[in-house]
Amino acid sequence: MTDEAAHYTKIGRAFAEHGVVSHNAGEYGRGEIHTNTIEGYFSIFKRGMKGTYQHCAKKHLHRYLAEFDFRYNHRVANGYNDADRAERVLKGIVGKRLTYRTPDPEVSAHG
């Protein structure tokens, strides 16, 4: 589901269905066709990027999007509170280590 912007026409062909609402004609929803979900997600994403991070390198965009996916899917409106989110985060880090490069064995061995 998208609005009437022309750049969505080609993308819409890749899907079995492509519902369109015409914001220019004052239409913001027609039955199950609306853009409210994605607009809500982008609202959370934009607030976080402008207010908290202010910059995102292209090579790390997938990491930022993963964080905001988590935030959106585990928000209060979906029945999660701070304790629930914290528990989910801690379960998700078990056995994982974030590194940007392979440690040099010489440096690791000598401190």
Q: Is the pTM of this model over 0.75?
A: no
Each domain of the chain, given as residue ranges in start order, spans 55-111
The pLDDT of residue 32 is 92
Distance CA 76, CA 33 (A): 24
Q: Mean of the pLDDT values across residues 51-78?
A: 90
Distance CA 50, CA 58 (A): 16
Q: Copy the structure tokens of residue 71.
A: 């935030």
Is residue 86 very low, low, confident or very high in pLDDT (cuts 50, 70, 90)?
A: very high
